[in-house]
Structure 1
Amino acid sequence: MRIGLFVTCLVDLLRPSIGFAALKLLRATGHEVVVPTTQTCCGQPGYNAGDRRGAQRLALKLLEEFENCDYVVVPSGSCGGMIRVHYPELLKEFPQRQEAVQRLAAKTYELTDFLVHVAKLRKIPGRLTGTITYHDACSGLREMGVKRQPRALLSMVEGLSIVEMQGAEQCCGFGGTFAVKFGEISTRIVDRKCQAIEATEADAVVLGDLGCMLNIEGRLRRRGNHRTRVLHVAEVLAGVDDPQVMVKGS
């Protein structure tokens, strides 16, 4: 089995530790993992902003880069959802590529979904002592069906306990350009999410989308909360070495 890792542009530019953690987890499955060096963006920002032609160029580029992979795995439900759910519509003007587009959509998985349902990973390399709460990012939950998978994997992490927050499935207010265009509404939404996180008294909030992570962490810090860590599920499952991102007490 040949697994292609789509790192995502946010991870590459802002928190590459997530990409390396995802790579470590995929290699732990015992299968071949490839990371095309020419990969960039899935095209979602342009697609959401109405730049259909620009998004199409990026989508066709990604199609070529991962065509020889049996699976495409993404440490982001948002980017994974863009490929699986929206590429068929985005690229409908390219009838000669429709078969390839359908194959790509069918073989694209969010990271934890792939580890649970395809690779069936039974041993988690990460070890972390502390309490976490989990936020269900919108695209991963609603477009990729990711809910049970991260919790099942996190339950195997030695020393870790999970406490559920109220409204775990409610939006954090990011929504890509929504947070920019509707800043006041976004702030109200993320404040509600921060209150739910803080009410659990967990050492960290864990989730699967970097955009949501940046939004939540930024608001927690502006609210004066410098205690609660904000971690990607891949970082926790793979084990993190940087003490700045480790859960308190680990």
Structure 2
Amino acid sequence: MAEEMLKSSPSKVIMTRVDVDSAAELDAAIDSHEPDVLVISAHGAEVDGVAGLRVGKDFYAGSRQRPWPPVVILSACRVAPRGAGGPNIADRILEQGAVAVLATHVEVDVRHNALLCLRLFLYMALAIEGAEPEEDLLSVWHRVQGSSPIADVMNGIGPLERWMQTVGSAGVPRFVQFMTEATRGRLRRNHAFDDTERFLIELAAETGDSAILRQWLSSPGYLPESAFYSMAGLPENVLLKSRPVLSLPPLPRPRAVASGSA
């Protein structure tokens, strides 16, 4: 989906997809294509306390010194565990020269991961195109974290997801009603999750379901998908478009001061 989307993007972003079956093939592909943004989609694995990737039959943990692209996105489970976690491939990639690395702390659902990564690619492409105000990777990541909250709510609460597929008072599935009404200025960028919950409660009140919906929101509740990821390194240094050079006013000319005795 991301490949097809970027083909039609006016930002002239080129996405090359390569399938590899070994660690050697992965290194060779990186060296051959020299991408600015590297996305590795694989299974996460842990060997002797080290978190890495399973590439074919090989365990790949970034232990061999090699140059890395500026941005590396590890689309794999538990490749950057924190807390009691040991060495991991995400930290090693940063140590070897990458500017920013996006990685997961825990096991993630591949469908949820795909939606998050697709939004990341979309907003990066729009930023490069100049269609959105974000100028660097950190700003884009913040945009992704606050976007599509309804997906995070539905993915985290099974009963609510099923309820959203049923027909509400408007005569259409509640999810359709949400997408057609809530997106018309009802969701503020910096308060998207609060506004999403508020609108869902309003929908539920129309059919007398507000009490059960409030219960679902509190227990089991949900977490945003991005809570399971970290954008490590210096993503603010990854510029997606040129910043204007500051035009400073000329410095005032120094005034001559005479000294002497009267």
For the criterion TM > 0.5, the same-fold answer is no
Higher helix share: 1
TM-score w.r.t. length of structure 1: 0.25
